[in-house]
Amino acid sequence: MSQQGARRNTRGGGAAWALVITSVAGFMAALDNLVVTTALPSIREDLGGALHDLEWTVSAYTLTFAVLLMFGAALGDRFGRRRLFVVGITVFTAASAAAAMAPGIDSLIAARAVQGVGAAIMMPLTLTLLTAAVPAERRGMAYGIWGAVNGLAVASGPLVGGSLTEHISWQWIFWLNVPLGLALLPLARLRLAESHGTGAPLDIPGTLLASGGLFGVVYGLVRGPVDGWTGSVVLTALFAGAALLVGFVLYSTRAKNPMLPMRLFRSRAFAGVNAASLLMFLGMFGSIFLLSQYMQGVLGYSPTEAGLRMLPWTGMPMLVAPIAGILSDRIGGRPVVAAGLFLQAAGLGYLASVITADASYAIQLPGLIISGVGMALYFAPASALVMSSVAAKEQGIASGANNALREVGGALGIAVMSSIFAAQGGYASAQTFVDGLRPAVAVGAAMVALGGVAALAIPARRRTGEQSPTAAPKTAPAPEPADEPVDEPAPEPALAPTAPTPRH
């Protein structure tokens, strides 16, 4: 069915149903980025496992999610978006039940990886289905509600995970998805219209190269502290992963329909905002992964108390994002994103300097608030920067690429910072935990600061009426967007998800 036909069939209550269904689906996928973090100590106590096992309970989800995100969108375009959306919900729901019933840490990790596959199919199709159902004049409001629901999932993830773990059991962070998924399945079948994309062939070689490369690099980083950095398995994983990623880049420069067209990175705006996103998530995800354990294992807070104490950081986007949006409209997205990343780095740097085995919450609070404000300033304008960096016909690819790089950054962040933690400290005592945590969070701060530098490379927004130096004269037909587009909102921005997946 065509996009136009899909919209005709979803007039009236159809648009509202599409908004509800896609928002709930997005909430489920976004929630599972952070919901596990406050449950990690309880999972470790119940199922056992070392630090690298805990890393994989998070990274197995974020890695499969990140690698298959664009592939999931392509599957929907080719075989039917509603059909694949239903498949994604089914896989995600079944894997959630398997995670809840996991008898050991290895089976939990496997279930988390399958959860990521389901989320990768389901999540990118939420926006395309919503766009097909909502008339153009109402899409801005619909995107705003969808984004707010995803932001709520990120903000409430640690608190929801902590409360369920403390008052029921950690298994319920996964059981929670089951009734939601079962309710969405018939609604999606009955209330969403089918639609298709251009029917471009699937990029199987690109998907295999990217998947193998990312898995090799993350596996090597996770196993390095355990097996030794000079071990044959670790070195083989790192070198093979790097070689496959180089092969992916070379392949994508020559392929006719690549999963990620490398030519997009010729745009300074596209390259800058994606580098900033990857580094932001690398530093943020890794820090939250360790700090949530610090609050429980070292300071003695319950899972619920730890989740509540993380809210000044994870929940700040709900308060500051509207202000950030106003600022980006007035002065452009580049300075807002850069300021946000530098604030996030400053907050993490402050936390690294004050963390001790008996640090009070009051002394940590300024760092959490500063980091939260920085996160909010980044999230609000980042999507518009991504969308305005490419031609309108490539906004779907751009959005998928940005979300995939965010998730990759999260998986790498957990692996890199956990490796630093294991090399400098460990779980033996409160002091050894702090000895490993401080340098790891300091590295996280440095990574986010580098993201701020990358954001400054994005071309500044030009004054109204000022012509781009690369543009044709006004009398000539309008060309395709230049390699360095201006920082202006796209006509109909396809909003990228506000946050991870600490996307797991």
Query: Using CA of residue 9, residue 11, residue 15, residue 17, what is the dihedral sign?
Result: negative
Is there a contact between 205 and 212 (Cβ–Cβ < 8 Å)? no
CB 461 within 8 A of CB 22: no
- pLDDT confidence of residue 463: 39
Give the residue ranges of the chain where pLDDT is below 50: 1-12, 462-504
Angle at 351 between CA 347 and CA 354, to 5 degrees: 140
Residues in CB range of 58: below 8 A, 6 or more apart: 36, 37, 40, 112, 285, 289, 414, 502, 504
Structure pTM? 0.71
